[in-house]
Structure 1
Amino acid sequence: MNDRLVTIVGSAAVAYLLYKIVFRASSQLAAIPTIGYSNPILSYIDAVRFLRKDKDRLAEGYAKHKGGFFKIALWDRWLVLASGSAAEEMRRLPDDTMSFMDFITDFLATKYIFAKEITENQYHLHLIPVKLTKNLAALFSDVREEVLLGFQQLVPDKGDEWAVLPAMETIRTIVCRASNRIFVGHPLCRDIEWQNLNMQFAMENQVAQQRAILIPNFLKPILAPLLLNVNKAVKDASRDLGPIVEERRRQYDQYGIDYPDKPNDFVTWMMDVAEGPNRQVEDLVTRVLNLNFAGSYISFSSSFSYFNTMTHALYSLAANPELWLQPLREEVERVVAEDGWTKVAMTKMHKVDSFIKESSRINSLSGISLMRLALKDHTFSDGTLIPKGTSLAAPAIATHEDEANYDDPLSFNPWRFSDVRGSEGEIAKHQFVNTNPGFLTFGHGKHACPGRFFAANELKLMLAHLVVNYDVQLENSSHIRPPNVYFAANCLANPTAKVCFRKRQNDVGAFHDDN
């Protein structure tokens, strides 16, 4: 049999197998309304469209089937969307029925890309609420120091002239540096090579996720491992982090777990609890790389999620600085005068919190939330049968644009959440970190992002520092916000737009953030 015939036969076999898989899935979900084509073959037209028009598809389904279920075609599966009461019912189901982590490892193919030890034992993610959140106050001054130095080094002081900088690249570097102050400590967090390695891995991981959804499920075990060279990234990162881990291990061996001057960072927290193979340098390094890119679907503790969210907020601020800058400045200066640059002060910056939350609401990092994989057949209260193996989610952007949830939902209102605060209970209710069925940036319920407290703290610190130290505007004093970039379920801040910075010119009552 010649090569051409082998190719033809092989392609036909793959096409037939793919058809059988898709046809079976289509017949099992036939009772659920479809946005687009229901035919298993024609549905691939919609799968292609979804890569660029997912926001529109999800909005259409939400409008037509609010409170119930609908499905859309992806390249490798049908995705069932639940909204309103149906989403709440889905969210409350036990993990052995509807699994969040199984959706992640399956949908993003991480179970094939990363080592089994990482995907099946994610103890480092459990340390986020146990260690990271509880150490936010103790580590606040460390993170602030990196934010301060990051802005000083990346934003040149040109007097009354503007410095035109690539927004995402600038924010990404500051976020990477500040986050790694907690992840790996000082001085490695300031190492340019370390920063570049982590930022490069984050971007490559994002591309790998986008490509993973294009691979049919039965081919993922073969092709998914080729999407990301994890071994090379771990090898490169081990050159920097490995000696630090080995030195700390020597301190453990000599003095015990509470050795003198023990660093308080994520590497230490992992070493305190890791056992067996998880104590190896390569394992620890891989987990740090994952912290720098946990992915917008998985955790808001990742640097990738931070810099996207902060860049979104920066674009909104720079598009209308004459409206938003002064109210933010006044709040930051008042609060810092009372409480200093502390974590306590961050909780009192209600306008800063509201600005970031509103930016996150209207520029959701992902079009979907509350992701679940059905581990068994389940019938919902409205009679909808979800077969085992079905992928489900809630349409986040459509939820955020629902007039039933928000007044004038398509408009950016930075004080939307600070204006409604009254009593202490209302203040807590509308904070950025608090989730509800109408605000799904962090998910909702027991699987809500564990890193959201760290995220909110760092983002508010960065915005507060920015507004009291710099004037900002878009190029050519434009008021047109750089358009978002959509790919499948991802909503990314514009990667190429520039923002103009200059040291604050209004010195009347100016607040100098230099200590």
Structure 2
Amino acid sequence: MEIDVEPATMGAGSITHKMDGQLGAIPLIPSSASIDSAGLNWLKYAIGPPQVDSTSPCRFSYIVIMDSQLWLDVFSNFRYAVGVFLLLSLFLWKLVKIFSNDNQSKKRSFKSWLSGYSYIISAPEILQSGFEKAGKRPYTISTPEHDQVMLSSEKDVAELLAVSEEILSLHAAANDLFRPKYTMGGFELHDNPKDNEPNIHLRVIRVILPSYFPILQPILEQKIRDTFAHELISKAGTEWKSMKAFSGIKRIVAAVNSVLFVGEPLASNPTFVDAALQFPNDAFTTAEVIRMLPAVLSAPISALMTRRSAAIKTMRNFLFPLVEERISKYPRDTDAAEKPLDCVQWLIDSIPKDRPWPTEKIVAKICALWFGSVHQLAMTLTFALYDLGTYPEYVDPLRKELEMHNTESELSSLKERWRAFDRLPVLDSFLKESARLHPSDCISVRRKALTPHMFTSGTHIPEGAWACVPQAALQKDPSYYANPETFDAFRFVSARGDSGDTHTRTSNFTDVALPFPFWGMGKRACPGRYHAAWVLKLVLAHVVLNYDMKFSDDRASRSFKWRSAIVPRSDTTLLFKARGPDAPGTLEV
């Protein structure tokens, strides 16, 4: 069976994805939040080298060859399975055509719509191959919902960032991606540049929270120490303790963020922390289901799915009384020294006096901030620990740098100690290199076209399509990085030696630039990147100073792919052995 995707209109050519072979019943959603590559073994296929069509310098095909023996092992009647899949796909496509409010969805042919599903299981390969064939020219990828036009040149990306949000909208893309109206209790994102009110919660995370880093750092160090020790599982007859990496890291990040977002005693309430950790899982899963269904089904399906989980309800049940207590207990004229140091309080204090917010709105903003602060941070931290285990030669340089920092800052003020910690060059460079090679998403700078837009290069973005930046491909672009596939923890420092004081940074982990669009770009770059980098450094420093670490199984797969995301597997196990209380450089709080 051959499925041919219709080429998308572009300024310099077009891309065609061709799939030859037999296509089985492709799953539309993960079976659970912890699905991994093992759960897709029956979908194994080989993607042959892209075949260049000489009629266009920016045209190529994908050949997908199905393993027929694998299908015979799985299906007793392959043709029946294919027939059922195609009938269900045709039915769903018809529903989308009838009920969708998206003009692009209404115009797509069945072949184009069906072929977009190859994106679900092979997006990283599709995006990388497209980048390699197109160079810095735009290229278009089909997804089940819409087309995505990838922009890689400095000129195109600069223009993308400059276009009005009334034409190319980040918030519209985020609403499509996460469906917050149905997954976050009615919260929605809006583009309204004339109204500063929607930016209040972003100012809290981007400006106010970082100003308290020096004061909060000792508190977080203790929280990390306690939570990390709690997550380790002892093994009889050995000094090594185990932890399911991604699961454990998510709980550590949730515990730390609870201190920053809601403060004590709620941050130590296991019922709240468990619900807060489950909430993003439920939201992602629900959004993934309803984004592939006609809009008319979003409300009933999301209600059915969220009813099965009480996570968001539990969070709100805790947050409502907390917010109301803070408003009554700490009026505006209360001395700042008496107020709690957390995002709930800072958000309340930042609300305009003449336009007070209802409790419902404050809680919704806190939930929205929380949604974006756990999983991405946890995935980045998990991949950093993977790299620490894969490249143990960097443990000693990191450890020496941290030990020297502890010695030199022992008598320093909190502010001086935090500033010195934030500037540690090898730690910063290690995290940036890990994020460069192992981003949790292959795409960045997503913008949805609210109206058709033509770039000066001639690239056309139809209404409903997305304009994006191929993050993973750019971060391995040889024109930006020497030996781009090689992990080099010293890549972003200017000097290399055994002594930590010989290193100086050439760039920062939190920098925003086209060769490193990890945090997004432009005025919409990630507002929480300073918070995220700080927490990443604190946890990694704790591991390096206090533990020796290794993989339980060096050969086990460590991640799986879903759409453009690359997610750590939930069953990858790391082993830790305490260095002892007298180990040089062990953190003392």
TM range (shorter): 0.7 to 0.9
- The structural deviation recorded for 1:506 is 11
- Superposed, which structure 2 residues align to 1:179-328 within 5 Å? 179-216=257-294, 220=298, 223=301, 228=306, 232-252=310-330, 256-258=333-335, 261-274=338-351, 279-294=357-372, 302-321=373-392, 323-328=393-398
* Residue of structure 2 in register with 1:165 after alignment: 243
Amino acid at match of 2:474: T
2:166 pairs with 1:87: no
- In 1, the alpha carbon distance for the partners of 2:224 and 2:467 equals 38
Structural RMSD (CA): 3.3
Cα deviation, 1:80-107, whole Å, max 9, x if unaligned, reads 2111232332123232332211211133
- The structural deviation recorded for 1:55 is 0.3
Within the candidate set 416, 420, 443, 1:345 is matched to 420
Q: Secondary structure at the match of 2:159?
A: helix
- Superposed, which structure 2 residues align to 1:348-497 within 5 Å? 348-419=423-494, 430-476=507-553, 478=554, 480=555, 482-497=557-572
After superposition, the Cα gap between the structure-2 partners of 1:243 and 1:471, relative to the gap in structure 1 and judged at 3 Å, is same
* Residue of structure 1 in register with 2:94 after alignment: 15
**TM value normalised by structure 2:** 0.74
Cα deviation, 1:381-411, whole Å, max 9, x if unaligned, reads 2122223332111111111121112112122
After superposition, the Cα gap between the structure-2 partners of 1:17 and 1:166, relative to the gap in structure 1 and judged at 3 Å, is closer
- In 2, the alpha carbon distance for the partners of 1:288 and 1:143 equals 20
Cα deviation, 1:131-150, whole Å, max 9, x if unaligned, reads 12222223222222211221
Cα deviation, 1:28-60, whole Å, max 9, x if unaligned, reads 9xxxxxxxxxx8322234322111100011011
Q: Secondary structure at the match of 2:469?
A: strand
Q: Secondary structure at the match of 1:72?
A: strand
Q: Tell me whether 308-317 or 104-113 shows the greater mean CA deviation.
A: 104-113
After superposition, the Cα gap between the structure-2 partners of 1:277 and 1:219, relative to the gap in structure 1 and judged at 3 Å, is farther
Amino acid at match of 1:446: K
Within the candidate set 52, 57, 82, 2:121 is matched to 52
Within the candidate set 374, 386, 406, 1:336 is matched to 406
Bigger RCO of structures 1 and 2 (CA < 8 A, at least 6 apart): 1
- The structural deviation recorded for 1:449 is 0.4
Q: Tell me whether 177-186 or 380-389 shows the greater mean CA deviation.
A: 380-389
* Residue of structure 2 in register with 1:105 after alignment: 175
After superposition, the Cα gap between the structure-2 partners of 1:409 and 1:45, relative to the gap in structure 1 and judged at 3 Å, is farther
- In 2, the alpha carbon distance for the partners of 1:19 and 1:282 equals 35
- In 2, the alpha carbon distance for the partners of 1:236 and 1:277 equals 28
- The structural deviation recorded for 1:266 is 0.4
After superposition, the Cα gap between the structure-2 partners of 1:412 and 1:201, relative to the gap in structure 1 and judged at 3 Å, is same
Sequence identity percentage: 26
After superposition, the Cα gap between the structure-2 partners of 1:506 and 1:188, relative to the gap in structure 1 and judged at 3 Å, is closer
- In 2, the alpha carbon distance for the partners of 1:216 and 1:267 equals 36
- In 1, the alpha carbon distance for the partners of 2:307 and 2:511 equals 36
After superposition, the Cα gap between the structure-2 partners of 1:117 and 1:17, relative to the gap in structure 1 and judged at 3 Å, is closer
**TM value normalised by structure 1:** 0.84
- The structural deviation recorded for 1:274 is 3.7
After superposition, the Cα gap between the structure-2 partners of 1:504 and 1:385, relative to the gap in structure 1 and judged at 3 Å, is same
- In 1, the alpha carbon distance for the partners of 2:98 and 2:324 equals 52
Amino acid at match of 1:186: E
2:134 pairs with 1:65: yes
Instruction: Provide structure 1 residue ranges, at least 5 long, that are not aligned to the other structure.
Output: 1-7, 29-38, 295-301
Q: Tell me whether 14-23 or 153-162 shows the greater mean CA deviation.
A: 14-23
Contact 1:98–1:373 (8 Å) recurs in 2: yes
After superposition, the Cα gap between the structure-2 partners of 1:402 and 1:141, relative to the gap in structure 1 and judged at 3 Å, is same
Amino acid at match of 1:350: P
* Residue of structure 1 in register with 2:230 after alignment: 153
- Superposed, which structure 2 residues align to 1:501-512 within 5 Å? 501-504=576-579, 510-512=584-586
Q: Secondary structure at the match of 1:367?
A: coil
- The structural deviation recorded for 1:66 is 2.3
Cα deviation, 1:220-266, whole Å, max 9, x if unaligned, reads 4665565545994343123333333233222135x844376211210
Aligned residues: 481
Amino acid at match of 1:497: T
Instruction: Provide structure 2 residue ranges, at least 5 long, that are not aligned to the other structure.
Output: 1-86, 191-197, 498-502
Contact 2:442–2:565 (8 Å) recurs in 1: yes
Contact 1:183–1:265 (8 Å) recurs in 2: yes
Structure with a larger share of its residues in helix: 1
- In 2, the alpha carbon distance for the partners of 1:451 and 1:207 equals 23
- In 1, the alpha carbon distance for the partners of 2:95 and 2:240 equals 60
- The structural deviation recorded for 1:288 is 2.7
